[in-house]
Chains A and B, each alone.
Chain A
C-alpha cells in the first residue's frame, strides 16, 4: 500500500531518467543518507565506526570499481587489490613529495595512478577474453606487489616496506577522530557511488554493457571495443585506487604492499558475486556482507565454544562458508543480494493485493 508507483506519472524524459523514479525510493534514500551522515556519527561506538563502517564503505568503493569492470564491461579481474595498492602508494607519494598537496587531490591523483596502471594491464584485453584475461590480471597482481616491495622509493625507503599515512588535513581541519574519518570516507564514497551510477546509466555504461553482452554486435553498431574496454579498466582501477588510498588513510593508517595480496582481490570479487554482479547497490551489500560475516562468525563461535575452540577453526570455517556461499549464489541467485532486494521491492509493490 505504501510502496506504489500508481499515480506517479512521468511527464518528461527527464523525470523518466531519474536514478530513483519512484517517489518512495527517493524519500527512502534521503532518510538513509540522513541516518548515515547525522545519526551514525552521533551514536555509533568507536569500534563500529573504525572496524566496521569505514572498511565497509571503502570495500564498497573497491567493489564498485570491480563491478564496473566485471559486472558492466564483462572483463574478469583478479588484480583489484594490486590496483588498490597503487592508489595507496600513489597518494602517499604525492602527499609526501609535493608540499602542500591537498588531501582530496592526493587521493584523486592516487586513483589516477591506478587508472594508468590499470590501462597498461588492460591492454591485453583487446586480444584476449574471459579467463585468459583473468590470468593477465594475475600478472598485474603479482607484478605490482613485487614492484612496490622491490623498489624502496615507493615506501620512502622504510625498512619493512610499510608506509604510515600522513595526517589528513582539509582546509586546516585535521581528521583525527574516528567520527571525522568516517564522515570523510562516507562523503567520498557517496560522491563516487553517484558518479558510478551516472556512468552506468549513460552512453558510457551502455557501451560497456554492449561489449560485455556481445562484442561483435557492439562493433557493428559503431562501438569501439578497445575504447570501451580500456575506459572500463581506467575507471575501474581509478575506483580501486581511491579505495586503496582511503584504506591507507582513513582505515588502517599504516599499510604494506603484501597487505594488498591475491586474497584481498578474491575478497573483492566475492563481494560483487554475493552482492550482485552489475549492480551499484550490490557492491554495498556485498561489501557489508563480506566484512560482517567473519566478525559475526567470530562472535558466534566464541559464545558457543568459548575457549574450547580449536585454533585455526575460525579461519577454516570462514573459507568454507565463503566458498560455499559463492557456489550457492552462482547457482541459486547469480545476481546476488541486489536481486533479492529487487524481488522484495517488486513484491512490496503489489502488497497487500498480490493478484
Chain B
C-alpha cells in the first residue's frame, strides 16, 4: 500500500505536486461554554502540501486540529472533505476517511511495546474478528504477519528498529514522539495532522523529525497539517501558513507573504526571529 501510494503520487523532479483542495474549512466558530476558542476561521488544505498553523499560545491551534479530525464539534461553519460537506463526525470517522494525527502531549499507549503501538495504528485495516483472534490461526495469523511486514516498513523508515520491543513508557521523549509519528503513519493516512511534533526536542532531534516529515510528504505524497512553534522550521518546510491569534485568523499565505504581513508581525513582535 505504501509503495502503491508512492507510485500514484508520481512526483516531478522539481518536488511535490500540489493538488486539489482536500480539506476546506469555512467560517468555523467553536465555543466552550462562554469561551470562544475559534471565531469565524476559513482556510483550505491542498493535496500533497505541507500546511502549517502558527500563532501564540492559546491562539486556538490545537482546537483547530481537534475540529479537523472530529474531536471537537464547531458550533458554526462547514467543513468540506474532498468536496463533501460533513456534519457531525467523530474521530473514528475521521480515521476511516484517512485522517491520522499526533498529539501535543504524547498520546501513546504507555503499557504497550513500540511494536504493539504501531500495530494498533493499523487497526482499521484489520478485518479478522474476535473469534478468529481467539484461535490465532489461519486468517488471523496471516493477517497479523502481513500487517507486521507493513509495520516493519514504517519502523525501518523512521529508524526505530532497535526499540521495537521496548515498552513506550521507558523511551526518552524524542523517541516517543517518533513512535507516535510511526503509529500515525502505519494507518497510511492521506491527511496527517501533526501537533507540535518538535516541541521539547534538541536541535539534532528536530533535524531528524524535519527530515521525516519532508520524507513522508515527498515519498508517500501525504498531505500534512503542522502546528509548530519553531519559526525557522515552519518557514523552511511549509508550502503555506495560516496564522491564528486569539482564535481569529490574522494571516494566510506562503511563508514569505506571512513573514511580511504587518498584522502577523504585530502579533509576533518580539516573539520570533
Chain B nearest CB: distance from A334 CB in Å? Answer: 11
Given the known A-B contacts A209-B109, A214-B107, are A220 and B101 also in contact in the complex, defined by CB atoms under 8 Å? Answer: yes
- For residue B7, CB closer than 8 A to chain A, the reply is no
- A binding-site residues for B, Cβ under 8 Å: 12-14, 16-17, 195, 198-199, 201-207, 209-210, 212-214, 216-224, 231, 235, 278
In the complex, which range does the number of interface residues on chain B fall in?
35 or more
Report the 4 A-B pairs with minimum CB-CB distance, sorted nearest first. Answer: A222-B95, A217-B107, A198-B136, A202-B133
Which of B139-147, B210-218, B242-250, B252-260 lines the interface with chain A? B139-147
Report if A206-B140 is in contact (Cβ < 8 Å); known contacts: A13-B149, A222-B95, A231-B130.
no
Determine whether the beta carbon of B120 is less than 8 Å from that of A221.
Answer: yes
Query: Cα distance A210–B112 when bound, in Å?
Result: 8
Chain B residues in 8 Å Cβ range of A198: 133-136
Min CB distance B129 to A, Å, is 8
Interface pair A223/B69, CB less than 8 Å apart? no
Q: Report which B residues bind A (CB closer than 8 A).
A: 69, 71, 90-92, 94-96, 100-101, 103, 107-112, 116, 119-121, 123-124, 126, 128, 130, 133-136, 140-141, 144-145, 148-149, 152, 183-184, 187
Kindly report which residue of chain A lies nearest to residue B152, judged by CB atoms: A13
CA A16 to CA B133, docked complex, whole Å: 17
Whether A206 contacts B112 by the Cβ 8 Å rule is yes
Determine which of A17, A214, A218, A278 lies in contact with B145 in the assembled complex, contact meaning CB atoms within 8 Å.
Answer: A17
Q: Taking A202-B136, A206-B116, A209-B116 as contacts, is the C-beta distance between A217 and B130 under 8 angstroms?
A: no
What separation, in Å, do the CA atoms of A206 and B69 have in the docked complex? Answer: 22
- A13 and B108 contact, CB distance less than 8 A: no
CA distance A223 to B109 in the complex (A): 13
A202–B109 touching, CB < 8 Å: no
Q: A203-B119, A217-B109, A219-B91 known; 7 other A-B pairs, CB under 8 Å?
A: A195-B135, A203-B133, A204-B130, A210-B109, A217-B108, A220-B91, A231-B130
Query: B116 to chain A: which residues have CB within 8 Å?
Result: 206, 209
Q: Smallest CB-CB separation from B109: which chain A residue?
A: A213
Which B residues touch A205, using CB under 8 A?
133
CB neighbours (8 Å) of A199 from chain B are 130, 133-134
Contact assessment for A14 and B141 in the assembled complex, using a CB-CB cutoff below 8 Å: yes
Per the bound structure, the CA–CA distance linking A278 and B113 in Å amounts to 14
Cβ contacts under 8 Å, B149 to chain A: 13
A202 contacts B140, C-beta separation under 8 Å = yes
A204 to B131, CA, bound (A): 10
Contact call A17/B144, Cβ cutoff below 8 A: yes
A14 to B141, CA, bound (A): 8
> What's the minimum C-beta distance from B134 to chain A, rounded to whole angstroms?
5
Whether B107 contacts A14 by the Cβ 8 Å rule is: no
A16–B165 Cα distance when bound, in Å, is 11
User: Smallest distance from the beta carbon of B153 to chain A beta carbons, Å?
Assistant: 12
Query: Which of A204, A205, A222 gathers most chain B CB within 10 Å?
Result: A222
Residue of chain A at shortest CB distance from B151: A13
Could you say which of B112, B119, B124, B148 contacts A222, with CB atoms under 8 Å apart?
B124
CA distance A221 to B111 in the complex (A): 17
Specify which chain A residues have a CB less than 8 angstroms from the CB of B141 in the assembled complex: 14, 17
Q: Are A17 and B111 in contact (CB under 8 A)?
A: no
Q: Which of A217, A219, A220 gathers most chain B CB within 10 Å? A: A220
Query: Nearest chain-B residue to A209 (Cβ)?
Result: B112
- B148 and A17: CB pair below 8 A? yes
Whose C-beta in chain B lies nearest to the C-beta of A74? B111
Query: Is there contact, CB below 8 Å, between A223 and B92?
Result: yes
A206 in contact with B130 (CB, 8 Å): no
Q: How far, in Å, is A285 (CB) from chain B's closest CB?
A: 19
Which A residues touch B111, using CB under 8 A? 209, 212-213, 278
